[in-house]
Chain A
């Protein structure tokens, strides 16, 4: 098992090297001069030149690249010019914020979408099936910033049920001691129910926004794959053996239908993690997506490179997790690995 994981990780190394090279080159061909940007509009050419030198941007591209790789090998992702902190620290504080939000959104979405999808497949063509389709389609066709703003408008502005959409905690609560970076978990570990409630309240609306958006792919995939499995021979055998509908649907059909659903879950997760900039903006969420966008606009190379590399590593780990899940679900995959 461990050897298999090691093997899988080893095969990811070439793609990571590719990612390093491509992001390095891409950030260099981006329009805009970081030295001029940071020197400010009133800076003299000498001052700009000074900054350029201090950033090492006066060197040739290969030279810059070698230095970059050397830094990377020491675990140094560089320093962000906009925040003034090292990229590692920035990512360390921001990635858990994104991950917590995305994970929670995905869990909520899954809890709704999977039973819905199963129901829609079992009662194909019924009202439930049509209702599922309408809800899922509506969810995916509404842009997240719209759903987000609507939720804020209704639940914060009109009803006043939820706190101000301003980040992970309201102004009066203090962040729990950093253990996992997930406020929900950290506050529970610290036994601080107050901040648990506060962070949950802050999470609620953005989570629902994400969940509504990701309902569609999960429901549709669950339904399609359940339909395929329900018409297969072994489900017929199970029915012909007089097994109860529950056993037939859960033990026989659903476990077999799970493989494509797991794949979809992985895809949705990795997509949401880096791409939900709009949700982060609406809720002033200190996540990694908005961090990367801001850095990109400022031509701040180091955070962009750090972000892309982090995401690449996350993808590799995520795919590995999915593959391992496959092995748990399907014994045939175990053998091939």
Chain B
């Protein structure tokens, strides 16, 4: 927003090399970056673009294999590259600090969060052992943590993801640094939490006149919160511009590609694909819900015994509430919905709302406490989860999982992974027949056939996602449950995978239950959407209707929390 008066950080011609088994890899090449006092700069790029490595180089916390090969880093007059380790250590945390992705892992799991803040304060002589506790509680208070004197004693696992990120921010800001580097600070958090965390960072940094570098893969986020945006691709800066400008007239082809593939209002699925990509055969047209009912869920309930309340707390809890009902937690609280043949239904909500539990029950991986799940006229809720896996019915419902890497057996080749359901339920006999089917499936999902003999670690994220999809459609299912299938993918890969899913749905006549927290993605793929909160359905209807004219406050809140690129 403000014209930078003086430069705080100046990175010139930075090159970072990593020694790997296959020789030296240049993760960052000739990068120039300046951050003015009080300025917020966004570094945007997909995985492997070198955006995180650049920031690690600035703090000199590259791991053993990495080294700054060339260039200069100047931070308020200090030559960071050539400074001694102890000088740099004084800078870290006191002048430059960092907020990381995955806040829970970023905190020491077995140390009280208050003590972790104290460690930093004491290290930089910002507190004496006598007043460290008071100052740590103050720091927690600043990041708007309720009851900070209680939270001081909490361990990271006792706090929610958003709360942990607040603690990490408190840790980073405890010594009032001049520069905050936020590395994907909100990835993995719910949209509303994301908004709260970002607003907090902006507010606190502005309050203290700090500069910020926001590293993100999300163009919308960068444009909403940054003064300037630096776009990186494969270790190089391809474009630097004011954020308003970059969205109005992106200069570089890569920037345009990134922008195209970001799901946004007003774009349909095909718009996401790169300009030079061949147009798919079927136009993306949403089917009107007119088919026969395939799945119908009624009054579905899943209860869990209350857990995770510590010994003394649990007894306190028991004394206060004498009702036995308080002993159980309703993860899914009497929901009913229907999926028609050929229809895509989106199930959205924040983490803990019960959407994954619902999908697990429909998949019959989890037994429902009560209620009915009718699949093609048969009540499958009555079948115990254990025996469902062997039934012929199991073929007709399949699932695609969130993490394409973790959901593949690392010792199975792609072909073996795809063939797995065929061996178990497919009834195909003979090595050649199965192989032929695998190749056919690979072609269907756009996976090059020669990649079939590779292991998961030899495949890219997008290729692994395709293997997961091929495995799910191997038995020609009628219902596929997609559990955030693109959450771990880069936007450009996500665009391609979403299009693939849409094409497959039409060519194979499947129905989708699409579980997601990303409303923009749901908007693109789903005919109808169900919004869940605290185990209940709060809103349900045609996607366009719900997302353009939400009826409940909660849906409005969810929509408002999404950062949109100004288009």
Interface, chain A (partner B; CB < 8 A): 124, 231-234, 236-244, 247, 251-252, 255-256, 329-332, 334-335
B123 pairs with A233, CB closer than 8 A: no
Knowing A234-B107, A251-B111, A330-B110 are in contact, say whether A243-B123 is a contact too (CB < 8 A): yes
A332 to B108, CA, bound (A): 12
Q: Are A251 and B110 touching (Cβ within 8 A)?
A: no
Contact of A124 with B64 in the complex, beta carbons under 8 Å: yes
Known contacts being A231-B63, A331-B155, is A243 close to B120, with CB within 8 Å?
yes
Chain B residues with CB under 8 Å of A329's CB are 110
Say if the beta carbon of B36 comes within 8 Å of chain A.
no
| Interface assignment of B337: CB less than 8 Å from any CB of chain A | no
Contact present for B107 and A247 (CB under 8 Å): no
Which residues of chain B come closer than 8 Å to A239, judged between CB atoms?
61, 92
Check: B98 CB closer than 8 A to any chain A CB. yes
Bound complex: CA of A116 vs CA of B64, how far in Å? Answer: 20
Looking at chain B, what size class is its interface with the partner chain? 20 to 34
User: Would you call B120 and A252 a contact (CB within 8 A)?
Assistant: no
A237 and B64 form a contact (CB under 8 A): no
The answer for the CA separation of A124 and B106 in the assembled complex, in Å, is: 23
In the complex, per-residue mask of B32-71: 1 if CB is within 8 Å of any chain A CB, else 0: 0000000000000000000000000001010110000000
Q: Which residues of A contact B90 (CB under 8 A)?
A: 242
Tell whether, in the assembled complex, residue A242 and residue B120 are in contact, meaning their CB atoms are under 8 Å apart.
yes
The answer for the CA separation of A233 and B172 in the assembled complex, in Å, is 15
Bound Cα distance from A101 to B181, whole angstroms: 55
Q: Which of A237, A241, A255, A334 has the most CB of B within 10 A?
A: A241
B91 interface residue per 8 A CB criterion: yes
Known A-B contacts A239-B61, A241-B92, A241-B171; A234 and B106 likewise in contact (beta carbons under 8 Å): yes
B119 and A241 within 8 A (CB): yes
Query: Across the two chains, which residue of chain B brings its CB closest to A236?
Result: B61
Q: Is B98 touching A240 in the complex (CB atoms < 8 A)?
A: yes
Determine if B536 is an interface residue (Cβ-Cβ < 8 Å): no
Q: What would be 29 A-B contacts, judged by CB atoms less than 8 Å apart?
A: A124-B64, A233-B100, A233-B106, A234-B106, A234-B109, A236-B100, A237-B106, A237-B108, A237-B168, A238-B108, A239-B92, A240-B59, A240-B61, A240-B98, A240-B100, A241-B92, A242-B89, A242-B90, A242-B91, A242-B92, A242-B124, A243-B119, A247-B123, A252-B108, A252-B111, A256-B109, A330-B110, A332-B110, A335-B308
Q: Is B216 an interface residue (CB 8 A)?
A: no
Majority secondary structure, A binding face: helix
B110 touching A232, Cβ below 8 Å: no
- The 8 closest A-B CB pairs, nearest first, are A242-B93, A242-B92, A241-B93, A233-B105, A240-B98, A241-B120, A237-B106, A234-B108
* Contacting pair A331 B105 (CB below 8 A): no
Q: Please list the residues of chain B having a beta carbon within 8 angstroms of any beta carbon in chain A.
A: 59, 61, 63-64, 89-94, 97-98, 100, 102, 105-111, 119-120, 123-124, 155, 157, 168, 171-172, 308, 310-311
Q: Decide: B105 and A234 in contact? CB cutoff 8 A.
A: yes
Min CB–CB distance A225 → chain B (angstroms)? 14
- B163 to chain A minimum Cβ distance, whole angstroms, is 16
The answer on a CB contact under 8 Å between A237 and B107 is: yes
Give the residues in chain A near B310, CB-CB below 8 Å.
334-335
- Closest residue of chain A to B310 (Cβ to Cβ) is A335
How far is it, in angstroms, between the C-alpha of A247 and the C-alpha of B91 when the chains are bound? Answer: 17
B102: nearest chain-A partner, CB-CB: A233
Evaluate contact between B171 and A237: CB separation under 8 angstroms.
yes
Check A244/B109 contact, CB under 8 A, given A237-B168, A332-B155: no
Whether B94 and A242, one on each chain, are in contact in the complex, defined by CB atoms closer than 8 angstroms, is: yes
Which A residues are in CB contact (< 8 Å) with B97? 240-241
Residues in chain B near residue A124, CB distance under 8 A: 64
Is the pair A331, B64 in contact by a Cβ cutoff of 8 Å?
no
Apart from A241-B92, A242-B90, A332-B157, what 16 extra A-B contacts exist at CB < 8 Å? A124-B64, A233-B102, A237-B98, A237-B108, A237-B171, A240-B59, A240-B98, A241-B97, A242-B92, A242-B120, A242-B123, A247-B119, A251-B111, A252-B108, A331-B157, A334-B310
- Given A237-B168, A240-B92, A332-B155, CB of A256 within 8 Å of CB of B110: yes
Name the residue in B94, B107, B111, B308 with the highest tally of chain A Cβ atoms < 10 Å from its Cβ. Answer: B111
Q: How far is the CB of A150 from chain B (nearest CB, A)?
A: 39
Task: Give chain B residues whose Cβ lies under 8 Å from the Cβ of A247.
Answer: 119, 123
Closest Cβ of chain B to A190, distance in Å, is 42
CB contacts (< 8 Å) of A243 on chain B: these are: 93, 119-120, 123
Which residues of B lie under 8 Å from residue A236 when comparing CB positions? 61, 100, 106
When distances are taken between beta carbons in the complex, the residues of chain B under 8 Å from A251 are 111, 119
Q: Tell me if B92 and A232 are in contact (CB < 8 A).
A: no
Tell me how far the C-beta of A232 lies from the nearest C-beta in chain B, rounded to whole angstroms.
7
Closest to A331 in B: B155
Residues of chain A within 8 A (CB-CB) of B91 are 242
Chain B residue nearest to A252 in the complex (CB): B108
**Nearest A-chain residue to B154, judged by Cβ:** A331
Cα separation A329 to B111 with both chains bound (whole Å):
10
A292–B157 Cα gap in the complex (Å)? 47
Q: How far is the CA of A251 from the CA of B120 in the complex (A)?
A: 12
Q: What residue in chain A is nearest B110 (Cβ atoms)? A: A330
Residues of the A chain whose Cβ atoms lie less than 8 Å from the Cβ of B94 = 242
Give the chain A neighbours of B100 by CB distance below 8 A.
Answer: 233, 236-237, 240
